[in-house]
Amino acid sequence: MVLINESHPKDFILLGFTDCPWLELPLFIILLITYPTAMMGNMAIILVSKLDPRLHSPMYFFLTNLSFLDMCYTTSIVPQMLFNLGSSKKTISYIGCIVQLYFFTIMGSTECLLLGIMSFDRYVAICRPLHYTRIMNQHLCILLASVMWLTGMTYTISEVSVTLQLPLCGINKLDHLLCEIPILIKTACGEKETNELALSVVCIFIVAVPLCVILASYASIGRAIFKIKSSEGRKKAFGTCSSHLIVVFLFYGPVISMYLYPPSSTSRDQPKFMALFYGVVTPTLNPFIYTLRNKDVKGALGKLVRNIFSSK
């Protein structure tokens, strides 16, 4: 942890949507509904993936990791948002800001890497189906998950620690809904162009490299699908990838606009909407995207619900 120096205030005031105070009540109601929905949906995915033997495969192993990440992702920011929106005191302590910054960044960076790994899994399943179980064995899956988590934590510790060294010169107002790296860089006083450049460069690895893996994987998958002669086979192969593609689009779009562009070039309210989108909306939608477009998950969920009611 970075030591607190004299330029850092004891508390931050999170301004939120100060220009549109009428947004606070609708946003409070939306978060009050979406947060439990996200938690229950992702918990359901984890439960059915663990309890149903048919879902004991690499695809659902990584899906379980995604659901766990999304639960932690939303929990790191939504309770604080609800507290601030529901009261006149819209502050967060400096220590609380640091904790939120670490957890939120760890989950976000790790999810970027996980989406890349999931695309590689789909590539092997469709383009190398005969060798799938041999390539995507349990040892490799655990290794990929371990490297993913370790890389996300390493990136977060280095990037957040450097950001926290920036002088704030007593400024205690953050024009945002939460503590996030680009906003702290934007708030800092003095020369900060180097930090903005460093953030963009490091994010190229965390964001752009997994995205390149995703694009390359789906380019190969697309060629393989078009070689399938039967329309039913093509439909089945595309169905296994469509859910992941939707999740990638929903997550990467806002993240790229937030982290790969200099913070000083963004409009005032853009970071707030982007954070709400990839921090709340996407984790809430992910379980439904995978459930509604996946027969195996729907069947496992239906079986779990029937077992619960029959036991009662």
Per-domain boundaries in the chain = 11-311
Q: Where does residue 206 rank: exposed (0-12), middle (13-18), buried (19+ CB within 10 A)?
A: buried
Query: Tell me, which fold does domain 11-311 have in CATH?
Result: Rhopdopsin 7-helix transmembrane proteins (1.20.1070)
The Cβ of residue 73 has, within 10 Å, a number of other Cβ atoms equal to 25
CB 88: neighbour CB atoms within 10 A?
A: 5
In this predicted model, which residue has the larger pLDDT, 171 or 176?
176
Amino acid 261: pLDDT:
63
Contacts of 242 (CB under 8 A, 6+ apart): 293
Find the mean pLDDT for residues 91-100: 89
Q: What is the pLDDT of residues 24-70, one digit of tens each?
A: 888 899 999 999 999 998 998 898 888 877 888 898 899 999 999 99
Residue 168 reports pLDDT greater than 90: no
Least confident of 19-23, 190-194, 207-211: 190-194
pLDDT-derived band at 2 (thresholds 50, 70, 90) equals very low
First to last CA, the chain: 49
- Residue 74 confidence (pLDDT): 93
Residue with tokens 């619900």: 305
Tokens of 86: 């529901």
| 166 vs 216 pLDDT, higher one | 216
Cα atoms in the Cβ-side hemisphere of radius 13 Å centred on 94: 16
> 92 φ, ψ to 5°?
-145, 135
Output the pLDDT for position 5.
Answer: 46
Predicted confidence at residue 1, as pLDDT, reads 40
Residue at token pair 């990584």: 62
Instruction: Determine which of 132-146, 177-191, 209-223 has the lowest per-residue pLDDT on average.
Output: 177-191
**CB within 8 A of 282, min separation 6: which ones?**
70, 247, 250, 251, 254
